[in-house]
Amino acid sequence: MLNILLMIILLIIIIIFIILLFGIRLTARWMKVDSKYDGCIELLIFKKLKVYTFNLNSDDDEDDESDEDGGERDLKELFELAKPCFKYFKEFFHEFLDAVSINRLENDLVIGFSSFAKTGEYIGYVWAILSILMGMIPNARLRAQPSFRGEVLNIKGYVNIDISIMKLIMPLVKLISKKEIRTLIGGVLNG
């Protein structure tokens, strides 16, 4: 009986180690047409097994009509707590970018304003930003097109992000080991 229990524990440890080694994948889809929107975020392990799914629909907003009268937080106090942490967050952000890779990014944007000149001006800005992003992200397919039929903003997209958990453990431990970060976390949790 003890041997079976030890084998189960060993199997669980091996599975956790394999998940840490291979990492996780976040997949997000979004679509907005006129006033309707739809979105989905999925958390996958081994790049195939779906662990968690969060769906967002425009129909959900009609059901959520609750008022949240939570306690007011003093933003100046939180900013004073966060100010000494910025250099640690900057270091963590650089190490986080090493652990994250964007495998696939697709986005279709249709934008239009009531004025033809304004539509042309803003689509030029959007094309400039998209060309920079496509140079930074190798597997990006970002498209934008103008619509001269009135005010329009339609978006459809998809992204795959792989996160290597093994590369994130040490930077996260280093970040949390700083006294200023722990003070900030305590200040945010205590309000």
Per-residue pLDDT of the chain (191 residues; tens, 9 = 90+): 778 888 999 999 998 888 788 888 999 999 998 888 899 999 998 888 888 899 988 776 555 544 444 555 677 888 888 888 899 999 999 999 888 998 889 999 999 998 899 999 999 999 999 999 888 888 889 999 999 888 889 999 999 999 988 888 899 999 999 998 888 888 888 86
pLDDT the model gives residue 97: 87
pLDDT the model gives residue 177: 92
If you ran DSSP here, which 8-state letter would residue 172 be given? Answer: H
pLDDT the model gives residue 58: 78
The model's pTM? 0.70
* Residue 48 belongs to domain spanning: 22-58+75-190
Domain assignment of residue 137, yes or no = yes
Domain assignment of residue 68, yes or no = no
Counted domains in the chain: 1
* Number of separate helices (H) and strands (E) present in the chain: 7, 6
Domain assignment of residue 11, yes or no = no
pLDDT the model gives residue 62: 56
- The alpha carbon torsion through 132, 134, 137, 141 (nearest 10 deg) reads 150
Domain assignment of residue 2, yes or no = no
